[in-house]
Structure 1
Amino acid sequence: MGEQRSTPTTANDDPRARQPGLPRYLAAMGPGFLFAGAAIGTSHVVQATRAGADYGTGLLVFILLAILIKYPCFYFGPLYASKTGNSLVEGYRQSFGKSVVALFGLIQIPVFAIIVAAIAITTAGVGGNLLGIPLSGPTLATVLIVACCVIIYAGGYAIVDAVNKLFIAILSVTTIIATALALPNVDWSFYPSTAVSPLVSYTTFVTLVAVLGFMPSGLSLSIVNSLWSLARNDANGTRADSRQEKADFDIGYIGSALIAACFVIMGAGVMHSQNINLATGSVGFANQVVDLYVATLGPWSGFVVGISIFTVLLTTLLTVLDGFPRVVVAVFESLGHDSAAQPPEQARVGQRQGTLYLAMAGLSVLAVLILYFLMSNFWLFINFAMITSAVISPLLAALNHFTMNGPSVAPAGRPAAWLNAWSALAIATLAVLSLCYLYVRFLS
């Protein structure tokens, strides 16, 4: 079971890396699609759609601008992997020491379990409503978690990559169709007069902070992406060069931005200005979107939208259940060897399979326990995860920046001055968003 071990060579050493351009780039495709699969989740289905429902297309430009500004923060994950053959976790150790890695793991591992539980229960709610499955939310969520774990265990990175690409294709087609159906009803004013609040207002400010802070995803996904790059290299037996990494990442990143725009348009076209009370919970809101499509355009449109939303969420669940355990293992392996030494090859390229599956099982069990025994305080956990993500985002952005420019990267492999300036702008933006988020949550 699992992935076969191989030792990745550098792009210059492997004859496959000297193949004509298209085959090389196709072989490198994968981590960027996994990034898109993980990023396109509740932030898109709920936050982007709700932004369209409340503000029409008024927040669309701000959402796309935020995704653009954050580009270097996420891109440094696969870029670091291509330049060093290590993950960002190992880069943190070499640049800042084990204490930073340990603190990162202490903060992120509980958040990972909460995120898995939140995605699973939302996916279960939407899927149960769409398919009429007579199971309770926690039970169906557990079934989905187990099913995803079985898929990952059956084939490792290769099968996750293949299934994710299939899901991405389905969600892309259905989302584009659903968006096209909504287009005739969209008010394309820059900031519609029917928005729930003026552009310069406290309410709009709070909404912008909440939406922009988590678009296209939490910044820990940059670390997961570096590990997926190593897993892809291990599967292919060669390390992708920085051009291949960039092409792969750009496809996934641009795709996540376009899908975010689609969900804003869906909310603007079908829900905006209908004078309805929007559901507060993620599951209720997602099902409300489907019901409004049915009421507006007929049952067939509701099925298309339902498949789109369900596939988005299921893809996210599968990818985080593969990616988050990789981070957990990377943290422990980075802490487990001599601080002065380079990591062993297994730690660099990803991780012993037995340990990886043990981490996946542990996170899954924690998520299931949250679903069954802590649902009465579920929103407390969700708020904890959101606050934690908001607080550490600028810190992770800074860690990525200084790691990419640190001693573990040869001077010739470090980012150009313009990319570093872009990264500095992203760090400042994330810091402002985080401070604003904390202000509106606790002091306003």
Structure 2
Amino acid sequence: MLTKFNQIIKNLGPGLMYAGAAVGVSHLVSSTKAGAVYGFLLLLFIPLIHVIKYPFYKFGPQYTAITGKNILHGYHALGKWALFTYMGMTLVTMCLIQSAVTIVTASIALKIFGSSLPANYAAIIVLLLAAGVLFFGKYSLLDKVMKVVILTLTVTTIFALLSVLFKAPGGFHEAEAPIFSFGNVKDALFLAAFLGWMPAPMDITVWHSVWSEEANRSSGKQANVKQAMFDFKIGYIGTACLAMCFLALGALVMYGSGEAPSPKGTVFAGQLIELYTDSLGKWAYPVIGVAALATMISTTLTCLDAYPRTLDESVLILKDEKEGNERKSDSKNIYRGFLMLTIIGTIMIFLFFMKSMGQLITIATVVAFVSAPVLALINYLVMNGKTIDQEHKPTPLMKTWSLLSISCLFIFSAWYVWISFIK
């Protein structure tokens, strides 16, 4: 039994890389705040948005399993417009999203170590340390770290939630029934931010495909569709369950307590860790603190790796270079160039454009929300395009599911624009 479990864990790779990128701001921050502010009112939105986005998240690793190449090759096959659209969206959002995940990481670190260093300077230090790891590191290192971090956080989160649920009924805070209105600008903006990065930005569909290709290259063998889909579903379903756990913890521990989620990073980091210590005991503070910090470090690393890596792949595809030492050398230089661009842009945000963690996260998640339907449509066109054999194209059910989901994403985006800028 133990041997079989170890084999399953060993076979997991890109799916846990996906989880490492997804379980971050959307879970630790947004899901917890959703529970703290609205109780369980928004709980059903988590499985709903996962159902809506499922086809497009699935298409990334599925494309690699079918073709042996990452999905950016499919973008290029549609026409340069598709690849340029992805590159343009990435260049616009990468520093903004990177700054959001890094500032959360830095805030948790400051809280744990009790430092009075300004959050933006601490975030710069975290960013540079992460960049150092990626500058000299390899995919295999990220893969190993992710398995430990994600499994540790999952176990501690489920254990904390069970501890809260088994408390005496009288131990929960009493409060009036939560109120949410789609016509209320504040509620609508929160929902857009909440769903925009749930479970992660749509860019992660491309990241997953690129990681899958890299995993195949590292292992020396290509995962088949069945293996790739099992790996994907573990990460996708697992992160959905974790998001609901975080929302439930926020609802059970913070909602109705009179303590509102703080917009200040270090203060909210303390509130987050207290969610666990209130249910598990003070002894859990260092354990949970380290787990939360490790989770956000993994998110910082995976995001910082994904943006340069996918842009690197895009440039190489456009140059139509052949595999070989020349390509590998050129790839390393391009990757490091985009890595430096991401670092410099993110540092500029920390020094000159950061007002508060809350505003930064909201902007990043809403940008992800609005751009999601565009990338979803491109993924759909790729899977129904000329690079996929007829036998591997989506089934009629999956096509209908995809088209309905794309329609929902466009409607959600239009609704957000209307309520934010027109109403």
Give the residue type in structure 2 aligned to 1:428: S
Deviates more, 1:301-310 or 1:324-333: 301-310
Deviation at 1:186, TM superposition (A): 9.8
| Residue 379 of structure 1, CA deviation | 7.2
What is the Cα-based RMSD across aligned positions, in Å? 3.0
Residue deviations 1:25-68 (CA, integer Å, cap 9, x gap): 66642100000010111111111111111222222122122112
Report what 2:26 is aligned to: 43
Equivalent-residue separation in structure 1 for 2:182 and 2:76 (angstroms):
43
Aligned to 2:222, the other structure's residue is in SS state coil
Distance 1:416 1:350 in 2: 40
State which drifts further: 220-229 or 315-324.
315-324
Deviation at 1:269, TM superposition (A): 1.3
Counterpart-to-counterpart distance in 2, 1:184 and 1:197: 27
Distance of 1:86 and 1:49 partners within structure 2 = 37
**In structure 1, what is the Cα distance between the partners aligned to 2:244 and 2:252?**
12
Q: Distance in 2 between matches of 1:22 and 1:313?
A: 26
**Equivalent residue runs for 1:323-334 within 5 Å:** 323-334=306-317
1:176 pairs with 2:158: yes
2:375 counterpart (396, 399, 403): 396
Within 2, Cα distance between the matches of 1:355 and 1:367? 18
Structure 1: tracts of 5 or more residues without a match: 1-20, 338-342
- Give yes or no for contact 1:126–1:306 (8 Å, CA) kept in 2: yes
Q: How does 1:394-433 map to 2 (within 5 A)?
A: 394-433=373-412
Aligned residues of 1:39 and 1:216 also touching (Cα < 8 A): yes
Q: How far apart, CA to CA, are the structure 2 residues paired with 1:134 and 1:23? A: 42
1:87 deviates by 1.8
Q: Distance in 2 between matches of 1:289 and 1:297?
A: 13
Alpha-carbon distance between aligned partners in 2 of 1:167 and 1:317, rounded to the nearest angstrom:
13
1:141 partner amino acid: A
Counterpart-to-counterpart distance in 1, 2:74 and 2:8: 25
Q: Percent identity?
A: 31
Aligned twin of 2:249: 266
1:344 paired residue among 316, 322, 328 = 322
Q: Which residue of 1 aligns with 2:128?
A: 146
Give 1:103 shift: 3.1
Work out the CA distance in 1 between the residues paired with 2:387 and 2:344.
36
Structure-2 residue corresponding to 1:6: none
Q: Is the 8 A contact 1:186 1:265 kept in 2?
A: no
Distance 1:356 1:108 in 2: 14
- AA aligned to 2:312 is V
Asked if structure 2 preserves the Cα contact closer than 8 Å seen for 1:57 and 1:264, the reply is: yes
Partners of 1:348 and 1:422 in 2: CA distance: 39
Q: Hey, what's the Cα distance between the residues in 2 that align with 1:410 and 1:281? A: 51
Change in Cα spacing, 1:410 to 1:114, as seen in structure 2 (3 Å) is same
Residue 356 of structure 2 is aligned to residue 373 of structure 1: no
| 1:266-292 per-position Cα deviation (integer Å, ceiling 9, x unaligned) | 101110111233313455333223346
Question: How do residues 25-424 of structure 1 correspond to structure 2 at under 5 angstroms?
Answer: 28-95=11-78, 97-184=79-166, 194-197=176-179, 202=184, 206-291=189-274, 294=277, 298-337=281-320, 344-345=322-323, 352-376=331-355, 384-424=363-403
> Which consecutive residues of structure 2, in runs of 5 or more, have no partner in the other structure?
none
Residue 435 of structure 1: CA displacement? 1.5
Counterpart CA distance in 1 for 2:327 and 2:52 is 29
Counterpart code for 2:61: P
Structure 1 residues 378 and 257 mapped into 2: Cα distance closer, same or farther (>3 Å)?
closer
**TM-superposed deviation, 1:299:** 2.5
For residue 380 of structure 1, report the CA deviation from its aligned partner: 7.1
For each residue in 1:364-413, what CA deviation from the matched residue of structure 2 results, as whole angstroms up to 9, or x when unmatched? 22212221233359877655534432222111101001101101111112
User: 1:44 and 1:235 mapped to 2: Cα distance?
Assistant: 30
CA distance in 1, matches of 2:113, 2:198: 29
Give the CA deviation at 1:356.
1.9
State whether residues 231 and 350 of structure 1, in contact with CA within 8 Å, keep that contact through their aligned partners in structure 2.
Answer: no
Matches of 1:195 and 1:351, distance apart in 2: 59
Q: 1:349 to 1:206 in 2, by over 3 A?
A: same
Q: Secondary structure at the match of 2:137?
A: helix
User: What is the one-letter code of the residue matched to 1:391?
Assistant: V
CA distance in structure 2 between the aligned counterparts of 1:424 and 1:350, rounded to whole angstroms: 41
Q: In structure 2, give the amino acid aligned to 1:197.
A: I
How far 1:199 sits from its partner (Å)? Answer: 6.8
